[in-house]
């Protein structure tokens, strides 16, 4: 009874989360994406909701069902994800960037399907850089508490702390991708100004709850 009546750790807080991959079109039938499944971001959205937060989840294409009680907004491209985040971030106390946002988009998207031509004439794609959503949120005049994610293929310990500083986020969560993409288990390392905290291998929903506990503690909740 006591636990049922106790206020939840994120009651009254608004949490904004990005999740999943983005999809960057080449032409009407093709595009570039990545191996993010969205499972970690959705698990974090569910855990934040369980902790009493009002949760908005800006999601790239995943095929996952929206967690119960979470306001999910579907987007496709990194630019759309950026615009959806920036339009809503005001009034949020926490921003968690879990999405695997495409770093580049195709500079000139063809309005028609690009046709195959015989011989050597293969298409040459030009790219331009997408906006950095996490950096844009962290650079706001009074930003929410910002949490970044990093999937590194090697040297996670070095890249994690370097990325935390570069992104100017108080907390950065590292995982060893892409081996864990799409799986139900993961293993996390939290980087903050105190140092590193290791969450050993567990299912993504348990890890998400532990992460939300850490965030609530840092907010003083």
Residues with a catalytic annotation lie at 34
184 binds Ca ion (CB under 5 A): no
Residue 78 is a binding residue for ligand CTP (CB under 6 A): yes
- Is 113 annotated in a binding site? The answer is yes
Q: Return the residues of window 101-160 that contact ligand CTP according to CB under 6 A.
A: 101, 103, 130, 132-134, 148-150
* Rg (the chain; Cα; Å): 18
Return the sign of the alpha-carbon dihedral for residues 131, 132, 135, 137.
positive
CB-based burial label for 194 (10 Å; 0-12, 13-18, 19+): exposed
Q: Which two tokens stand for residue 19?
A: 């999740």
191 is in an annotated binding site: no
- Measured from the CB atom, the residue of 103 and 185 that comes closer to Ca ion is 103
51 versus 150: smaller Cβ distance to ligand CTP: 150
Residues contacting 125, CB < 8 A, separation 6+: 26, 106, 107
Which burial class, exposed, middle or buried, applies to 137 when counting CB atoms under 10 A from its CB (0-12, 13-18, 19+)? buried
**Pick from 90, 103, 165, 168: which binds Ca ion (CB under 5 A)?**
103
Residues numbered 2 to 41 that lie near ligand CTP (CB under 6 A) are 18
- Annotated binding residues for CTP: 103, 113, 131-134, 149, 163, 167
In the complex, the residues that contact Ca ion under the rule CB under 5 A are: 103
């Amino acid at each position: 009874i006591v636990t049922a009546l106790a206020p939840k750790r994120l009651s009254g807080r608004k949490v904004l989360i990005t999740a999943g991959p983005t999809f960057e079109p080449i032409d009407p039938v093709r595009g570039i994406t990545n191996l993010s499944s969205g499972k970690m971001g959705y698990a974090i959205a569910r855990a934040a909701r369980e902790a009493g937060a009002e949760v908005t989840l800006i999601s790239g294409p995943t095929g996952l069902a929206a967690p119960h009680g979470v306001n999910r907004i579907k987007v496709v491209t990194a630019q759309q994800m950026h615009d959806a985040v920036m339009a809503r971030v005001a009034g949020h106390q926490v921003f968690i960037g879990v999405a695997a946002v495409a770093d580049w988009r195709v500079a000139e998207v063809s309005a028609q399907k690009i046709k195959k031509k015989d011989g050597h004439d293969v298409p040459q794609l030009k790219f331009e850089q997408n906006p950095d959503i996490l950096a844009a949120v962290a650079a706001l005049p009074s930003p929410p508490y910002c949490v970044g994610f990093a999937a590194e293929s090697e040297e996670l310990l070095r890249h994690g702390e370097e990325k935390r500083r570069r992104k100017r986020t108080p907390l950065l969560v590292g995982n060893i991708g892409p081996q864990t993409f799409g799986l139900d288990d993961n293993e996390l390392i939290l980087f903050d100004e105190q140092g590193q905290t290791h969450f050993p291998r567990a299912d993504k929903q348990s890890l998400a709850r532990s992460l939300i506990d850490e965030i609530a503690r840092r907010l003083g909740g």
